[in-house]
């Protein structure tokens, strides 16, 4: 795991800029920082790498890695590197290190850009070919590892974090804010932030997941290639439920086995839900690992999962460090530091909270932490999935049975009034207002309102499957991965997501729609697959709490005046009507959507203070 950056321009970088860039990269890679310079006619190319040593801790695996005409800088892990290494050795390839980085570079030499189709892992990397004068850049299928870039006026700058690009490039070109995206974040929330390649900076883009980029230095032309079509992930299978359960169990075990490969200590996030509980339980019972977990405990019963956490601890014998939330004396200071580290507003309060896990794990010298990201999106984990399932099965003979299970077991748990209507999609299959809940109300706070039309990409004719794919590629998972990466790397920790294994994702998305939910249980296939691993009370717990927290836990709104706080920002006043904030009653009717909106307002104020309009 590392940080990477690159610079191509007619103007050569000054030494102090190079050294400052490496210093900025140190958190992502505290073990080693270095760079290499390359020249072609009137162009200068600098490649930067900052290493967090996870596999082959020896300095022989430091970056940039050079192999004849090829130079690699790489952020990520190729989990199946041992299998690929064996395959390459059979082809006569020789290795000097035990790293996955060298396997990646040799794979490119043998298979060219098609090597990425062989990789199981997470990555953003760049390989420069001195002979072809070609820069090859790639990002993993699900976007676990970030890569941003600026491309204009024969200049190309890229990096794992936006701050590297801001530092290496011209302030005039790069520090322009994307006001429409900032408004979109405020009004529509985090689920709309990954609908395109835009960032909060007007001239900086993000490389999309599953994409290769080719930059020809001879003419500075750029080409993008989607190396794996998202639609290919949903070819249906005709297996029985029993076969699906067995196959998901086997695939999850194999995914976790690969992601436990590490030459440094590994820890787990444990929320108390079925996803993280499955990972911890398999690691202890299948792989006999002595597991250390980190858990957040909120006093708000809507988010408190301490009971389940204690059950998993007792059942598996894992060690759990509980981090109790309360009114934080340094809430605003910590949030400012996070926003500076992320170069963006924090998408949800959950990722302010998540930062405590990274901080505590780092203090105990953990360098890798595993989480349950992706399970909800590939195995049906949200309450609206039940209603989409009712729509999909409306003509099936067991529809009434499904409906009755939902009425008995699920409707009493649902707080959102919209999602308490079983006919929601049956009457209107295009309904999506719950995704950006209350955005019409929040739009009224803007001085210039935005278009509220919500767009969903089409991957499948199935409503349920299409919703899951949009959550996986555009709404929930990309934001979770973005925040996970930045929070973890801020404390020099690598985050891994076993549910985002290519074979596991493909298989889960191939399951028949009617089989995802059974007997009033979402994630039915997963619950059955981990039978014998996960403690039964946790395995069969239908309550979906989600990893979140209440802002009131951290701010005393009786003492804190939101309107006065926001009024301090001249830049914020250009975007919102501060006077209308007085109409927000933070003592009465404090809903989940208000919680998110207020957190976003505070974030926006801090972000604008750092990056003025």
Q: For position 581, what pLDDT does the model report?
A: 87
The pLDDT value recorded for residue 304 is: 85
Mean pLDDT to the nearest integer, 296-313: 89
Q: How confident is the model over 218-244, as pLDDT tens digits?
A: 999 999 999 988 877 777 888 999 999
- CB neighbour class for 582 (10 Å; exposed up to 12, middle 13-18, buried from 19): exposed
Q: What DSSP designation does 323 have?
A: E
The pLDDT tens digits of the residues spanning 240-264 come to 999 999 999 999 999 999 999 999 9
Residue 321 confidence (pLDDT): 95
Query: Which pLDDT tens digit goes with each residue over 111-139?
Result: 999 999 999 999 999 999 999 999 999 99
- Rounded Cα distance between 533 and 279, Å, is 9
pLDDT higher than 60, residue 613: no
**Which residue is associated with the tokens 């946790």?**
538
Q: What is the pLDDT of residues 450-509, one digit of tens each?
A: 988 888 999 999 999 999 999 999 999 999 999 999 999 999 999 999 999 999 999 999
Residue 174 has pLDDT above 90, yes or no: no
Is the predicted pLDDT of residue 214 greater than 90, yes or no?
Answer: yes
For residue 330, pLDDT over 80 is answered with yes
| Strand extents, DSSP E, 272-420 | 292-297, 319-324, 368-370
- What integer best gives the mean pLDDT of the chain? 93
Strand partners, 33: 50
Contacts of 255 (CB under 8 A, 6+ apart): 498, 499, 501, 503, 504
Check 2, 269, 293, 318 and give the catalytic one.
2
Confidence band for 186, pLDDT divided at 50, 70 and 90 = very high
Of 110 and 561, the one with more pLDDT: 110
What's the average model confidence in pLDDT over 408-431? Answer: 94
Across 64-76, average pLDDT: 96
pLDDT digit string, tens, across residues 545-591: 767 778 888 888 888 889 999 999 999 999 999 888 887 877 776 78
- Tell me, yes or no, if 563 is annotated catalytic: no
Confidence at residue 327, expressed as pLDDT on a 0 to 100 scale = 59
pLDDT value at residue 33: 92
Report which of residues 7 and 586 the model is more confident about: 7
Distance CA 146, CA 130 (A): 25
CB 130 within 8 A of CB 71: yes
pLDDT band at 1 (very low <50, low <70, confident <90, very high): low
Asked whether residue 278 carries a pLDDT value surpassing 70, the answer given is: yes
């Amino acid at each position: 795991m590392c940080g990477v950056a690159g610079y191509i321009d007619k103007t050569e970088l000054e030494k102090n800029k190079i050294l400052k860039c490496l210093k900025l990269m140190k958190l992502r890679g505290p073990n080693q920082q270095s760079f290499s310079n390359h020249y072609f006619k009137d162009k200068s190319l600098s490649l930067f790498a900052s290493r967090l040593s996870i596999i082959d801790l020896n300095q022989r695996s430091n970056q940039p890695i050079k192999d004849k005409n090829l130079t690699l800088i790489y952020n990520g892990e190729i989990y199946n590197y041992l299998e690929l290494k064996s395959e390459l050795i059979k082809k006569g390839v020789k290795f000097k290190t035990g790293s996955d980085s060298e396997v990646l570079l040799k794979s490119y030499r043998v298979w060219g850009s098609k090597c990425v189709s062989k990789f199981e892992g997470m990555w953003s990397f760049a390989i420069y070919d001195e002979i072809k004068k070609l820069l090859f850049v790639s990002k993993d299928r699900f976007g676990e590892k970030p890569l941003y870039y600026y491309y204009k006026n024969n200049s190309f700058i890229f990096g794992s974090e936006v701050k590297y690009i801001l530092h290496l490039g011209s302030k005039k070109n790069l520090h322009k804010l994307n006001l429409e995206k900032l408004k979109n974040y405020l009004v529509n929330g985090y689920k709309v932030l990954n609908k395109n390649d835009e960032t909060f900076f007007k001239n900086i883009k993000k490389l999309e997941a599953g994409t290769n980029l080719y930059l020809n230095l001879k003419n500075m032309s750029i080409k993008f290639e989607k190396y794996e079509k998202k639609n290919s992930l949903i070819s249906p299978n005709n297996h029985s439920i029993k076969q699906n359960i067995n196959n998901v169990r086997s695939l999850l075990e194999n995914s976790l086995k690969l992601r436990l490969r590490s030459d440094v200590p590994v820890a787990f996030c444990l929320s108390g839900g079925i996803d993280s509980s499955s990972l911890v339980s398999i690691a202890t019972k299948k792989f006999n690992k002595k597991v250390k977990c980190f858990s957040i405990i909120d006093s708000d019963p809507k988010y408190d999962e301490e009971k389940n956490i204690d059950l998993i601890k007792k059942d598996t014998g894992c060690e759990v460090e509980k981090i109790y939330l309360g009114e934080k004396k340094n809430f605003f200071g910590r949030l400012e530091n996070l926003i500076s580290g992320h170069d963006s507003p924090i998408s949800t309060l959950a990722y302010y909270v998540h930062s405590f896990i990274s901080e505590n794990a780092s203090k105990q010298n953990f360098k890798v932490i595993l989480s349950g990201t992706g399970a909800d999106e590939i195995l049906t984990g949200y309450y609206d999935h039940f209603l989409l399932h009712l729509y999909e099965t409306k003509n099936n003979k067991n529809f009434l049975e499904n409906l009755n299970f939902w009425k008995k077991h699920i409707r009493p748990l649902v707080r959102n009034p919209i999602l308490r209507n079983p006919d929601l999609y049956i009457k209107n299959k295009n309904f999506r207002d719950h995704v950006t809940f209350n955005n019409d109300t929040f739009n009224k706070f803007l001085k210039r309102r935005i278009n509220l039309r919500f767009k969903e990409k089409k991957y499948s004719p199935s409503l349920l499957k299409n919703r899951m794919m949009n959550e996986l590629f555009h709404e929930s998972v990309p934001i979770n991965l973005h925040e996970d990466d930045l929070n973890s790397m801020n404390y020099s920790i690598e985050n891994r997501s076993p549910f985002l294994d290519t074979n596991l994702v493909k298989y889960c998305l191939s399951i028949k729609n009617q089989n995802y939910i059974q007997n009033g249980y979402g994630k039915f296939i997963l619950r059955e697959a981990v039978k014998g691993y996960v403690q039964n009370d946790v395995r069969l717990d239908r309550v979906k709490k989600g990893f979140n927290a209440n802002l009131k836990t951290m701010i005393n709104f009786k003492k804190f005046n939101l309107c006065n706080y926001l009024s301090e920002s001249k830049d914020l006043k250009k975007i919102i009507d501060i006077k209308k904030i007085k109409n927000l009653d933070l003592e009465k009717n404090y809903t989940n959507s208000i919680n998110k909106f207020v957190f976003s307002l505070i974030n926006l104020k801090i972000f604008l203070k750092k990056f003025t309009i």
